[in-house]
Structure 1
């Protein structure tokens, strides 16, 4: 009887520890992508007992909002709405363009709801900065340091709509820009799912404060082999709690999901 009681107590203790260690991750994709890009990451994080939500921003993936009408506020509201459906604090993980999205969402939600912000090779803004502004800053800093990228630039790889409100990536350039270390199958999958991107979302600056966005712990994961844009000089744009590096392309969720998840699980 005593042994059974001890066994039950031990099981309850393990369950309590497991719940305490589990986290709620909200994964937000970058420009031209969708929730589909996290297909390898979600089951790995869930297998560690976490709750994981990979969402489509408006106009992406399964969300059929007309792309030309989408604004940064629409993106932010989607993240805020999803976060509010969750019990307890959440960790927002933003890839690339979504760094700006999670920054503005964190300003709205506050530190009571957002436990941590994770910038995955992402644009990490100060108040008043947009994706375009941060890209320009990175390019200027890289040029000043003598770091000139080879191959077609992201700007040269854009296909603009007639009204210039949306853009698509040239298929022939997508592999080198985003997926050069990914398998042939993953590249084919990604190219088949890439969509149009609202340009307004990239040009709209965030409005964030030290009192809300500023106090939320931030982590930066730099993809050191990314060819879309070297963001190494943006990792200090805002104070961060910790920096990690992955020797991957801009798409570690495809090329090294286990290593990416190991970092996320450590948070």
Structure 2
């Protein structure tokens, strides 16, 4: 039996794992999805949300070592959590996620990418504290291969994304280096370019990078395939 802790990406919440958690549980595993501070049902004011707060929320949700899965933006907080308390992490799984480099924020890494396909879908709030995804573009950028009804469901749940966590670099990754890692690259991703995902993991050991033929949202597009892949990773 494996223990999974699932962490969402920008503007999302625990709700995005609705189809994956039951599959993992039916297979005999423990699976839990959490809302990061300022997301979903968590009421932390956006102006108070930090990358450190994200990481501490993740660690607070862990009683025994877990397979920690981070989607997209969550590559940063799961990395910081592993840097802070590697003994709590059995292994890390980056699901079409940013893999941090020391001294670079997520925003820095996004700008360093070969292209930024998600940029037209982002609207920054007038106060500069948050951004959101344009409702008319999320289908094209995030859910284009997902079942009917996904866009409406997502638009009813998507929330403003605090900007500070994405503008914060991680200074050191020495303790993170010793944690086992796996990357799931999504080949039809219209948010984080697949070629950039490949570049971020180009020096990873053989067998630690696998692929799914999906969009940026495999938890909706192919939940059974994603769950199967996570179980394979957890038991390998």
Give the TM-score normalised by the residue count of structure 2: 0.93
Q: Structure 1 residue 230: deviation in Å?
A: 0.4
Higher helix share: 1
**Alpha carbons 1:99, 1:123 under 8 Å: kept:** yes
1:195 aligned residue = 159
Deviations 1:134-166 (A, max 9, x none): 212222xx5xxxxxx7xxx32222221111110
- 5+ residue gaps in structure 1? 1-21, 143-148
Equivalent position SS for 2:200 = coil
Give the TM-score normalised by the residue count of structure 1: 0.82
Task: Please report the RMSD computed on the Cα atoms of aligned residues, expressed in angstroms.
Answer: 1.5
User: How many residues get paired?
Assistant: 230
1:254 to 207, 217, 220: 220
**Alpha carbons 1:124, 1:235 under 8 Å: kept:** no
The question of 1:106 aligning with 2:69 is answered: no
Deviations 1:158-208 (A, max 9, x none): 221111110111111111110000112122111110000001111111133
- 5+ residue gaps in structure 2? none
**Alpha carbons 1:138, 1:234 under 8 Å: kept:** no
In 2, distance between residues paired with 1:78 and 1:232? 31
Equivalent position SS for 2:94 = strand
**Alpha carbons 2:96, 2:197 under 8 Å: kept:** no
In 2, distance between residues paired with 1:254 and 1:56? 17
Which structure has the greater CA radius of gyration?
1
The question of 1:79 aligning with 2:81 is answered: no
The question of 1:186 aligning with 2:150 is answered: yes
